[in-house]
Amino acid sequence: DAKTTQPNSMESNEEEPVHLPCNHSTISGTDYIHWYRQLPSQGPEYVIHGLTSNVNNRMASLAIAEDRKSSTLILHRATLRDAAVYYCILRDVGDYKLSFGAGTTVTVRA
């Protein structure tokens, strides 16, 4: 499995953007970049995924570097409800075992 590296924690103020980096220098050409988040005492929740191009959805944006060795999850306006552990995971066809690392714990200050 290709591995990802994320900062352990990040803090943000409410209503401000949050940029969560993820390094994946050994990514293969067919690895998709997935982001899930886990709110306290909940199961993980899908956030966004992409392959090469930047992606936007109602929850967040995913910016992927041109060489694909890093990516950034962008929460445009953090709310208290966005406080969670965010996991950056690489997944290739046939990968059924999502490898959850330690993730980044996001704290949002009111």
Partner 1 sequence: GAVVSQHPSWVICKSGTSVKIECRSLDFQATTMFWYRQFPKQSLMLMATSNEGSKATYEQGVEKDKFLINHASLTLSTLTVTSAHPEDSSFYICSASPADYLRGSGANVLTFGAGSRLTVL
Binding site for partner 1 (CB under 8 A): 30-32, 34, 36, 38, 41-46, 49, 51, 87, 91-98, 100-103
Closer residue to partner 1, CB minimum distance, 43 or 110: 43
Residue 31 token pair: 């690895």
Smallest distance from the beta carbon of 49 to partner 1, in angstroms? 6
Closer residue to partner 1, CB minimum distance, 5 or 13: 5
Rounded to 5 degrees, φ, ψ at 14 are: -60, 145
Three-class secondary structure of residue 94 per DSSP: coil
CA angle 56, 61, 63 (to 5 degrees): 105
Smallest distance from the beta carbon of 97 to partner 1, in angstroms? 5
Smallest distance from the beta carbon of 15 to partner 1, in angstroms? 27
| Integer CA distances (angstroms), 87 to 10, 81, 110, in order | 13, 16, 23
Closer residue to partner 1, CB minimum distance, 13 or 52: 52
Smallest distance from the beta carbon of 3 to partner 1, in angstroms? 13
Closer residue to partner 1, CB minimum distance, 97 or 110: 97
Nearest to 82 by CA among 31, 49, 35, 50: 35
